Amino acid sequence: MRPNRLFVVVPCYNEEEVLPETSKRLAEKMAALIKSGAIAENSRVAFVNDGSKDKTWEIIQKLHEENPVFTGINLSRNRGHQNALLGGLMTVMEDADMAISMDADLQDDINAIDQMVEKYHNGCDIVYGVRSKRKTDTFFKRFTAESFYRLMDKMGAKTVFNHADYRLMSKRALQGLAEFKEVNLFLRGIVPMIGYPSDVVYYERAERFAGESKYPLKKMIAFSIEGITSLSTTPIKMITKLGIFMFIVSIGMLIYSVVQQILGHTAWGWASIITSIWAIGGLLMISVGVVGSYVGKIYLEAKERPRYIIEKYLEEDKKD
């Protein structure tokens, strides 16, 4: 039986500082896997350029010219990490028997690829790379990240705890992923919905080799909101429950007001009235905002705009 062809898909945005080292380590890993017979000789590392403003694409093209193990996919413009990752996976789907997605910053342990491939050969369609520890994170980063996963679970958006986007997917799993047509992408929540046999590989995440993080706190918060609203309607249900609670409170306040009127205590405090107005007004604004975010997503989905556009796929040059 022939070895299966592996594609390692690596989204890149302004990664010129780290790409030389990333490509070196990945080339060594691919060579070792090919030598052992775990993967086919025509396996590839596919760097996906997500509209970088530096020399990332030029470096990818040079790597492709120097070593056939490297190929490149250039998006027409910046579309964000999730779209770039999906674009890469969908582009290599027809050529790959399995694909591994990972970031370019070398925080994901490349050696975990061996275990992922082994579990694939043992019958797993999806293998999740899961962080075993968060030693390299600050207390704030660790607390907020773990709180994010727990919050997602409570909100009904099922994810794999401490798993980002480091995973292996078989061709069958990739074809399943292609069936999900939504524009609002949150792959960490979508992939578990595919089903099929799956397993996890634990690894220790290292510090970023070079460059700056592409996910500061502001983007992480936005990413969390995107994930919750893309996969769960729990926030809208919470608004309904809050509305019922406020209605019950208002009935209580009505009874209290009638009793005060009967007892002759008709002088109401200014502070209580103002507080009530601001509290109810704030809740209404929050509720409108949450509902509005869902309406906005429906608007984007209804337009059916492309999630990405491939400007160039270097592997196609060889086919021609």
* Confidence category of residue 148, pLDDT binned at 50, 70, 90: low
Task: Give the DSSP H/E element, type plus range, for residue 167.
Answer: strand 163-170
Residues 6+ apart with CB under 8 A from 76: 51, 308, 309, 310, 311
Highest mean pLDDT out of 104-118, 122-136, 153-167? 104-118
Instruction: Return d(Cα 143, Cα 236) in angstroms, integer.
Output: 26
Contact 74, 311 (CB under 8 A): yes
- Output the DSSP codes for 233-266: -HHHHHHHHHHHHHHHHHHHHHHHHHHHHHTT--
> What tokens does 281 get?
């007004």
Residue with the larger pLDDT of the pair 30 and 260: 30
* Confidence category of residue 188, pLDDT binned at 50, 70, 90: confident
- Superfamily of domain 6-216+312-319 in CATH is Spore Coat Polysaccharide Biosynthesis Protein SpsA; Chain A (3.90.550.10)
Q: Once rounded to an integer, what is the mean pLDDT over residues 195-214?
A: 73
* Domain segments of the chain as ranges: 6-216+312-319, 234-303
Identity of residue 152: M
Residue with the larger pLDDT of the pair 97 and 148: 97
* Confidence category of residue 219, pLDDT binned at 50, 70, 90: low
Any idea what the Cα angle at residue 200 is, between residues 3 and 7, rounded to 5°? 35
Q: Give this prediction's pTM.
A: 0.71
132: β partners: none
What are 262-319's pLDDT values in tens digits?
Answer: 766 655 555 566 667 766 776 777 777 777 777 777 766 676 778 888 999 987 665 5
Q: Once rounded to an integer, what is the mean pLDDT over residues 66-90?
A: 92
In the prediction, which pLDDT does 144 show?
66
